[in-house]
Amino acid sequence: MLVRFNEISPHGSQYDIRKIDGIEGSAGLVLCGSLDVRCSLTRKGDAKVELQGWLKATLLLECDRCLASYRREVDTALQMLFEVETGASWQVKDLDYRIPDLDTIVLDAPVIDLDDVIRQQLYLALPMKSLCSDQCRGICSRCGANRNHGPCGCADEHENSPFAVLAQLKKE
């Protein structure tokens, strides 16, 4: 959804977004169910717009260790400032409206692509290491069984395990 600065009401405009284009198939991002995004845009001068809101979504991810699909809830506040970089706004930058610690996104034109904002927030929510749980036991390197579903038969036959060494000693 594209929002032009001049479409935003002086009192702020509200947006409810349930769906964005081009998310399915983008690397690592698979949504489970619909999005729930509520946000407001407020003009802070000719060249600035503040966004405040909330994003909720459920991502369908794949565990790096056991390859199973699992769900991850995303529930995050949205707060950022959009600024059009023009000669004029550049000159008055320091005197102008400013909120500390607010992400500032510099735009080429006075148009905000809300879909893009949401997509980026979802990417930021992706974990560095994707695990279905911290206790995930992964896949047996021998038989390929998912060890979260219980121990596989070959569990204590690994050559380097203390059991294997003991078994070898007994044989001798």
Using CB under 5 A as the criterion, which residues of the chain lie in contact with Zn ion when the complex forms?
A: 63, 65-66, 132, 136, 140, 142-143, 145, 152, 154
- Residue 56, CA distances (Å) to 7, 23, 33 in order: 25, 15, 11
Nearer CB in complex with Zn ion: 49/66: 66
What separation, in Å, do the N-terminal and C-terminal C-alpha atoms of the chain show?
A: 74
Residue whose entry in the numeric block shows the structure tokens 């219980």:
150
Nearer CB in complex with Zn ion: 87/144: 144
Please provide the size of the chain in residues: 172
Distance of CA 72 to the CA centre of its chain: 10
Nearer CB in complex with Zn ion: 3/63: 63
CB 68 → Zn ion: shortest distance, Å?
A: 5
CB 16 → Zn ion: shortest distance, Å?
A: 35
CB 65 → Zn ion: shortest distance, Å?
A: 5
As a whole number of angstroms, the distance between CA 34 and CA 16 comes to 12
Nearer CB in complex with Zn ion: 48/65: 65
CB 71 → Zn ion: shortest distance, Å?
A: 13
Diameter over CA atoms, the chain: 87
